[in-house]
Amino acid sequence: MSSRVCRTCGGSDIDVDQARGSAVCTSCGSVLEDNIIVSEVQFVEGSGGVSSAVGQFVSADGPVKAPLLGSGFHTSVGKESRAQTLQNGKRQIQQLGSQLQLNQHCLDTAFNFFKLVVSKHLTRGRKTEHVIAACLYLVCRTEGTPHMLLDLSDLLQVNVYILGKTFLLLARELCINAPAIDPCLYIPRFAHMLEFGAKTHEVSMTALRLVQRMKRDWMHTGRRPSGLCGAALLVAARMHKFRRSVKDVIGVVKVCQTTLRKRLTEFEDTPTSQLTIDEFMRVDLEQECDPPSFTAAQHKAKMQQLEQELAKKLDEVEGEISCYKDEIETELEKSRPKLRGIYAAYTKEVDPEDNGEVLSMPSEPEEVESEDVELQAATHHLTEDFLCQVIQEEEGHGMKGDREAEPEKESMGPHRQAASLTSILGQLPSAASLSLQQTFQTLDTSGGDEKDLGDHPQSEELDLEGIDDQEIDKYILNEKEVQVKTELWMKQNAEYLKEQKEKQERINKEKEEGTYKEKKKKKSKKQDQIEALTAGEAIERMLEKKKISSKINYDVLRDLNRGTGSPTRSPDHTPDTTVARKRLNRRRRRKTSDSNQDLAANTSIMGKRFRHLISSTPKKKTAHQVERTVSVVTETETPAETESNPPPDSAAETSPTLPTAPSPMEEEEEEEEEAEEECVSALQLVGDYGCDADEEEIF
């Protein structure tokens, strides 16, 4: 029916005959089209008088080749990997989707998502199952179906969080903004499962109201929607006089008992819970509540504050009490009869010892508090410093002799306190420690590396500054302890050790038998070198190995190969070599398309001459010569014409004495060239026969 113009006469009156399938111009009679393709449906009568349409269903994204009839082929031979992946994915989506009772539209959308995912290479490194589940869940979310991620994970027996991770990633990559889950969506589904009979609708409506109330009371942020639904349904059921226990609800909603209870108590705390059933159905309270966790946190904060205040007050009271105590004591002392003579001496002796124990400025309150040093250490900075110096001294084995602290070493107090202090305060650097560490470092450096002490950050030498060796020793057990621990450990891990032993025995046995197959750990897929005598063989092998694409006609490639790849095999095969020559030249022409045409012509002529020479020379060397010609040609492309003359001659001279360059390299080069050649000549085979003529002309 195309109103075209006739080619010969220009007339537009064209008669299209459907029966013959031809288009004829009525003015001049020339046939414009023969065998027109018609898009009609034909019917065939089958057995029993049933007429059926002729034709096959072909899917739009099916395989490139026509599907074979009859045998119900499932293993697709020669299909592309991508098509296979998609097909596989589609199948799995259908399977999983039907289990979830999703309609076809959803499944199609899911498949589209899957196609997007595959095209973005997000399936790499992930199980197809997970990816498909994520796609389906995406659809569920965008469509608003009452399916939870939990359902999917139940079906697949996979951890929810793993699926969730995949889902989040896909949603982000595909830039799909899934709307937030509304617990109201789940209510009808759960209500149905709880079997309320005729009253299901009413119960669901009540539950919906409850959920909305909960939402306004900020109970739903950060919580699983299913938990809220469960609580709402439970209350709604009770309101309508259905007896549903917590266990029933849990079974349907899939939350824990504790969660449900908690939600109920939270709801109880809201003012809405105080209303009666009728009031609730009619009235909506204006007031909104805070989220329960917020109130809890505030409550906690308040309690903490109170505690702090209390503690402060206690301290104050204590302080006052101690003040009073001191005053009373002083008063008492004053009122006591004073000791004279020997006794006075005794009283005086006591004081320096007391002071010694305090180890700090002898102020009374501080003395009291130094006993609970652990609590107040941070505030008594002087005490810390002093004590730490004492500790350092102990380590340094009395490096500093002129310390007042020496006599105090005898008392056990500082020892104990030292231990506790070090555990709390950490090592404060002091001259003693630094010097100590320096000696350590010098020892180490003299032993091992020659690294400078100077370059701290760069050196791998362990900087021992601030590390207490004694403490570290505590981390290491002594011999006896090691024995005990070894025993314990052996007992505990007996199974594991047994397994290891068995494995080892098995391996040894297999080794002896000679059937030992070492389990190779994830070898990177390196393509091993294709070894072949000639380029042609190499190409064939490569082709065999990997079918690159179904869109290439391999037969043509092989033919090409046969033509060019074997000047070595059959030097007498002059047509082949001429063909080869031509092909080489063609390649050269392509290569030299940028450079001077004349130069190229000359070189090609030279090359041809050279070829003649080649055909007479021995088989082995021809491969090399081919390579030589290439190098010659590439060289001669750039320099002047005159220079091109000597190189081929010299090359010809040196041809018998050509060194054997590494063959695989040459072959690879050849291979490359030939591959190039093939690409080129494939083009030519398809269309461009004009080149031949050009070649002849230059000749």
Partner 1 sequence: MDSSNDEALDIIITNVVATFRTRCHLNLRTIALEGTNVIYKPEVGKVLMKLRKPMITASIWSSGKIICTGATSEDEAKLGARRLARCLQKLGFKVRFSAFKVVNVLAVCSMPFAVNLINFTKNNRPIASYEPELHPAATYRIKNLKATIQVFSTGSLTVTGISLLTRLNTHRHIKYLTPFYVQLRRHIGLRD
Q: Which residues bind partner 1 (CB under 8 A)?
A: 148-150, 160-161, 164, 167-168, 171-172, 175, 177, 180-181, 218, 220-226, 290-291, 293-294, 297-298, 301, 304, 423, 426, 460-464, 466-467, 469, 471-477, 482, 485-486, 489, 493, 496
| DSSP, res 45 | E
The CA distance from 150 to 545, in Å, is 45
The CA distance from 652 to 640, in Å, is 19
Q: Tokens 């000639």 belong to which residue?
A: 534
Smallest CA-to-CA distance from 441 within 468, 418, 462 is with 462
The CA distance from 648 to 636, in Å, is 9
**Residues 6+ away with beta carbon under 8 Å from 261:** 246
Largest CA distance in the chain: 157
Phi-psi label, residue 35: left if phi above 0, alpha if psi -120 to 50, beta otherwise:
left
**Rounded to whole angstroms, what are the CA distances from 75 to 79, 84, 543, 552?**
9, 10, 22, 21
**How long a stretch of residues is the chain?**
699
**Residue 345 tokens, joined:** 């001496």
What is the closest distance, in whole angstroms, from the C-beta atom of residue 169 to partner 1 in the complex?
Answer: 10
| DSSP, res 475 | T
Residue type (1 letter), 456? H
Q: Tokens 């209350």 belong to which residue?
A: 235
Residue type (1 letter), 333? E
Q: Which is nearer to partner 1, 463 or 559 (CB)?
A: 463
The CA distance from 37 to 30, in Å, is 19
Q: Is 246 exposed, middle or buried (0-12, 13-18, 19+ CB in 10 A)?
A: middle
Strands 31-34 and 22-25, bridge-based pairing: antiparallel
The CA dihedral of 198, 202, 203, 209, to the nearest 10 degrees, is 170
The CA distance from 87 to 95, in Å, is 12
Q: Which is nearer to partner 1, 298 or 347 (CB)?
A: 298
Q: Which is nearer to partner 1, 164 or 188 (CB)?
A: 164
Handedness of CA 426, 430, 432, 438 (dihedral sign): positive
What is the closest distance, in whole angstroms, from the C-beta atom of residue 134 to partner 1 in the complex?
Answer: 12
Q: Which is nearer to partner 1, 271 or 426 (CB)?
A: 426
**Residue 106 tokens, joined:** 């959803």
Strands 14-17 and 22-25, bridge-based pairing: antiparallel
What is the closest distance, in whole angstroms, from the C-beta atom of residue 163 to partner 1 in the complex?
Answer: 9
What is the closest distance, in whole angstroms, from the C-beta atom of residue 459 to partner 1 in the complex?
Answer: 8
What is the closest distance, in whole angstroms, from the C-beta atom of residue 467 to partner 1 in the complex?
Answer: 5
The CA distance from 317 to 302, in Å, is 22
**Residue 131 tokens, joined:** 């990816």
| Cα angle 570, 575, 577; round to 5 | 55
- Phi–psi pair at 431, nearest 5 degrees: -55, -40
Please enumerate, as own/partner, the contacts of 466-471 that have beta carbons within 8 Å and a separation of 24 or more: 466/426, 466/427, 466/429, 466/433, 467/427, 468/422, 468/427, 470/395, 471/422
- Phi–psi pair at 171, nearest 5 degrees: -60, -40
CB-CB contact of 163 with 126 (8 Å): no
What is the closest distance, in whole angstroms, from the C-beta atom of residue 493 to partner 1 in the complex?
Answer: 7
What is the closest distance, in whole angstroms, from the C-beta atom of residue 297 to partner 1 in the complex?
Answer: 6
